[in-house]
Chains A and B, each alone.
Chain A
Amino acid sequence: MTAASLDDVAEIAIARPVSLREIVRRHPMVVAGSLLLLAMVAMAVFAPYLGTVDPQALSPVRRLRPPGAQYWFGTDMLGRDVYSRVVYGARISLTVGLSVAVLSTAMGLAIGLVAGFSRPVDAIVMRVMDGLMAIPAVLLAIALMALTKASIENVIVAVTIAEVPRVSRLVRGVVLSLREQPFVEAARATGTRVWKILVRHILPNTLAPLIVQGTYICASAIITEAILSFLGAGTPPNIPSWGNIMAEGRSLFQVAAYIILFPGMFLSITVLAVNLVGDGLRDMLDPRLARRM
């Protein structure tokens, strides 16, 4: 495209201050995603008030009732109300997702910053990160979980360890590219301490990609926790996480498919919501990428 007479057009296409209404108009999907996510969070927080009963309450006499007026999502093989279990399950998934996202971005940030600035640290640490990345995430998490007993905390730690390498690589990349910039050289030349350079100059530039990456990690962590629970290597079976509920319903799939399908739908919708928010954040924070995607 000839630069010449399209200057005007280009000028308009670059990000300008936007109003809320314009955000809704331009990115309907992102708004939908955010609303969905809020709905899920609300569901998790207000679980006791949403017409639920104790998710662990057994009632063998009422086992395997199909979805109906009394039990909206039916009951499982132990007579537990599937609806309540699914609603409370949101707590697990969102807790894990959020915790992993926060922890892994924090750790990845720290590691990446140091690695980007110190060559010896970079050489060692990045090799380790590459090695960890060579192991597919689910397998890594499974292996770590196999070492300890099942609990939510351990799941969070395991999944975090699996996600940190990617974040640290991202941050390191930003640091490396910024390090060569004239303004960093200038700062060093005037005697600014390294840590100050890191905090004042480099850190702000890592925030945008970090936030975007953080949302994707949240989605990925929710899925990984579900997979781990589904395979029996995640949260303990009595706690109703969506993966657990589906794992329990496996053998009965042909007669009581609802036990698997309902948590599955909620899981997918939540992940979808997080992904949409992530896409939207990326569009807003980095218009250069947005034009392409």
Chain B
Amino acid sequence: MAAAPSLAIDAPASALAEPILEIDQLQTHFFTRDGVVRAVDGVSYSLRKGETLGVVGESGCGKSITALSVLRLVPSPPGRIVGGAIRFEGQDLLARTEADMRALRGNDISMIFQEPMTSLNPVLTIGRQIAETLMLHQGLSRRAALARAVEMLTLVRIPEGERRIKQYPHQLSGGMRQRVMIAMALSCNPKVLIADEPTTALDVTIQAQILNLMQELKDKLGTAVILITHDLGVVAETAQRVVVMYAGRKVEEATVEDLFAAPLHPYTRGLMASVPRLGAALDERRHRLAEIPGMVPSLRGMPRGCSFAPRCRFASERCRTDRPELEAARPGHAVACWNWQAVLADRAPA
């Protein structure tokens, strides 16, 4: 099913409406001794220039693997991209050579990861780790690269850059390390930044700082961002459009406003309802934290029909036999559910 319906929307302002990155029916599978794990099973979405796209879903839904697939960093035994295309500026990345990909990584497309504690090399200085990319992709000399590294540190609001570049990761706090990661990722001014749960491992106050920083830099440098997270709050703050994933597939896509105003997929509904709200205990009707019953199915043996059906309270007979395709439920809002109308009509809190 083509990703088309979701794209013809009211794009934020400008004529920058063409997608810079298009993921088209991507399939990434893991071939283990005991079966094939379909981590990403036909996912399509696009990223437009200058926008922030949120990708939401719980652990195991394939959102991170999709991102790794873009850069072709999926651990290769046992994983393999078995189908689909990934178009960056029109060219299919899956057809490029490894050398081409290396020229792209850190340069046109960058990625930052969840664990700042372990994502930086403990035995190399900060300066070396930032300068490396600059020396590699922009051919700068060591001295020039280190000078630029200091500039980047200032950009991410780390003071005393000259001193910091000689330090090692263990001498920095978690928040600072993530800033360094951001500095590293943005040093060559990439067109796309993929941020895989960048704030999950950080304290709440630091989270806000990092998100603001990313927003600021994004506006300044014009980078398009894919923000992967399981935290709806983060998405609400920073993204323009959102993709919801479940069990290796995309189940809903909309602008942030539309999604929060009227979620159409039962899973999205469930996600939103399960966010604890301050003061909820005082509310007579909902003093119990709502949950989505059941568990995510094993990606090895998916049920026939809709993969969410076993846990869905809107599930009908058809849901158990036929896998729902994405359809444009409303302008700019796509959903993969047979009963989305029922979900929409059901205004009662979950």
Direct contact of A and B (CB under 8 A): yes
Helix, strand, loop or mixed for chain B's interface?
A: loop
CA–CA, A2 and B196, complex, Å: 9
Q: What 0/1 pattern do residues 1 to 30 of A give for CB contact below 8 A with B?
A: 111111111001100000000000000000
CB distance from B251 to the nearest CB of A (A): 15
Q: Is the CB of B75 within 8 A of A5?
A: no
Chain A, interface residues (CB within 8 Å), range: 10 to 19
Residues of B within 8 A of A6 (CB): 30, 39, 65
Residues of B within 8 A of A12 (CB): 32-35
Residues of A within 8 A of B32 (CB): 9, 12-13
Q: Is the CB of B59 within 8 A of A8?
A: no
Using known A-B contacts A1-B75, A2-B114, A2-B196, determine if residue A8 contacts B33 with beta carbons closer than 8 Å. Answer: no
Helix, strand, loop or mixed for chain A's interface?
A: helix
Q: Is the CB of B30 within 8 A of A3?
A: no
Q: What 0/1 pattern do residues 289 to 319 of B give for CB contact below 8 A with A?
A: 0000000001110000000000000000000
Q: Is the CB of A9 within 8 A of B30?
A: yes
CA–CA, A238 and B8, complex, Å: 95
CB distance from A8 to the nearest CB of B (A): 5
Q: Interface size of B by Cβ–Cβ distance < 8 Å? A: 24
CB distance from A34 to the nearest CB of B (A): 23
Residues of A within 8 A of B35 (CB): 12
Q: Which residue from chain A places its CB closest to the CB of B61 in the assembled complex?
A: A5
Residues of B within 8 A of A13 (CB): 32
Residues of A within 8 A of B63 (CB): 4-5
Residues B55-90 near A (CB distance < 8 A): 59-65, 68, 75, 78
Q: Which single member of B64, B113, B114, B300 contacts A8 (CB below 8 Å)?
A: B300
Q: What 0/1 pattern do residues 22 to 65 of A give for CB contact below 8 A with B?
A: 00000000000000000000000000000000000000000000
Q: Is the CB of A5 within 8 A of B34?
A: no
CB distance from A23 to the nearest CB of B (A): 14
CA–CA, A270 and B39, complex, Å: 47
B37 located at the interface, meaning its Cβ lies under 8 Å from any Cβ of chain A in the complex: yes
CA–CA, A7 and B60, complex, Å: 7
CB distance from B157 to the nearest CB of A (A): 27
Residues A125-144 near B (CB distance < 8 A): none
CA–CA, A13 and B78, complex, Å: 11
Residues of B within 8 A of A4 (CB): 59-61, 63-65
7 interchain residue pairs of minimum CB distance:
A2-B64, A4-B59, A5-B60, A12-B34, A8-B37, A4-B64, A5-B39
What are 8 A-B contacts with C-beta separation under 8 Å? A2-B113, A5-B39, A5-B65, A5-B248, A6-B39, A8-B37, A9-B32, A12-B32
